[in-house]
Amino acid sequence: MYNLMSNWFWCEWDSYYSEVLGKPTTFCETMGKAEIWLIRTYWDFEFPRPFLPNFVFVGGLHCRPAKPLSQELEEFVQSSGEHGVVVFSLGSMVKNLTAEKANMIADALGQIPQKVLWSYSGDQPKTLAPNTKLYKWLPQNDLLGHPKTRVFITHGGTNGIYEAIYHGVPMIGIPLFADQPDNMVHMKAKGAAVVLNFITLNTQDLVDALNTVINDKRYKENAERLSRIQRDQPMNSLEQAVFWIEFVMRHGGAQHLRPAAHSLSWYQYHCLDVIAFLCACVAAVVFLLTKCCMFCCRRCRGTRGKKNKTE
């Protein structure tokens, strides 16, 4: 299914870019002409690996300090007491769940002492507990920045992950598709999240994950460590993004940062011409050696034949 969606997505973009530019082209071809790449992650999320000089990391550029909550939300959050609250959102694209899955999740959420704010547009689950409130929309960044927030249940989208990192909130990941499984693998490896499988998810799995992340202080400590890394930069991510965009505008591009590989043909990029030349050299040497050996063998046989006749 994901492959079908990806193919449809790229075909739509190819058509759009061809229409705008007035000539046949592809999305990948247009992307290859980019002067600067603004990558929406940072080293609090990424694993160390080499990158090209025109790659600039601006992860969390949308993050900002939390604003005060509405009176209704603040009263609900404060009513949680010392237990705190859990924020639950599967993103803007997931509006509904099957009744079976929604009831199972609601049942699990009702078994913890924390209050739960669940961003959900579907029908109210029959097993919804008094500690859980449904909202069609939540001020996610402001809730994650609230001191009473204990854990963030997320689908693993980059925006939500970075808001949790920025505010130092540990996560429970329930990835669904696209980059979400990989994103949550990063957070699990950093020690700031527990990852669950949406397909096999059951009530006890979610309850165990919630108790683990909330009660094991290491998850909170790791999330706060990532938050300190994110915040400890000469410029924040938004300022860096603005600077590099204006840099490209001031200098009419950034060709000095683009690797020459972008200008090579496919066979040059993969060194097929070099490989062909080396193969030709090896073949020529083998051919010459073979001819020399055959010539020497013939000379030796000829010399022996003359000696035999003379005797």
Task: Dump pLDDT digits (tens) for 100-137.
Answer: 999 999 999 999 999 999 999 888 999 999 999 999 89
221: region left, alpha or beta (phi > 0 left; psi from -120 to 50 alpha) = alpha
**pLDDT (0 to 100) of residue 226:** 95
In this structure, what token pair is assigned to residue 275? 């490989």
Task: Find all residues with CB under 8 Å of 218, minimum gap 6, and list them.
Answer: 191
**Are residues 173 and 187 in contact, defined by beta-carbon separation less than 8 angstroms?**
yes
Please tell me what DSSP assigns to residue 70.
P
Average pLDDT over residues 231-240: 90
Q: What is the pLDDT of residue 5?
A: 43
Nearest Cα residue to 55 out of 45, 74, 41: 41
| Confidence grade of residue 75 (pLDDT, cut at 50, 70, 90) | very high
- Dihedrals phi, psi of 117, to nearest 5 degrees: -110, 115
Please provide the average confidence, as pLDDT, over all residues in the chain: 87
Flag whether pLDDT at 186 surpasses 90: yes
For the chain, how are helix, strand and coil distributed in percent, rounded to 5?
55, 10, 35
Asked whether the predicted pLDDT for residue 19 surpasses 60, the reply is: yes
Residue 132: φ, ψ to 5° = -115, 130
- Among residues 257, 245, 309, 260, which one has the least CA distance to residue 58? 245
- 25-34, 49-58, 187-196, range with the lowest pLDDT: 25-34
Q: Rounded to whole angstroms, how far apart are CA atoms 84 and 9?
A: 41
CA distance 273 to 267: 6
- Name which of 83, 199, 59, 225 is nearest 148 in CA terms: 83
CB 248 within 8 A of CB 217: no
Q: How far is CA 24 from CA 10, 13, 19, 139, in A?
A: 14, 12, 8, 43
pLDDT higher than threshold 80 for residue 38: yes
* pLDDT value for 10: 61
Predicted local distance difference test score (pLDDT) of residue 256? 87
pLDDT for 198 beyond 70: yes
Does residue 293 carry a pLDDT above 90?
no
**Stretch among 163-167, 277-281, 295-299 having the lowest mean pLDDT:** 295-299
Mean pLDDT of 193-215: 93
Asked if the model's pLDDT at residue 274 lies above 90, the reply is yes
Nearest to 36 by CA among 293, 253, 296: 253
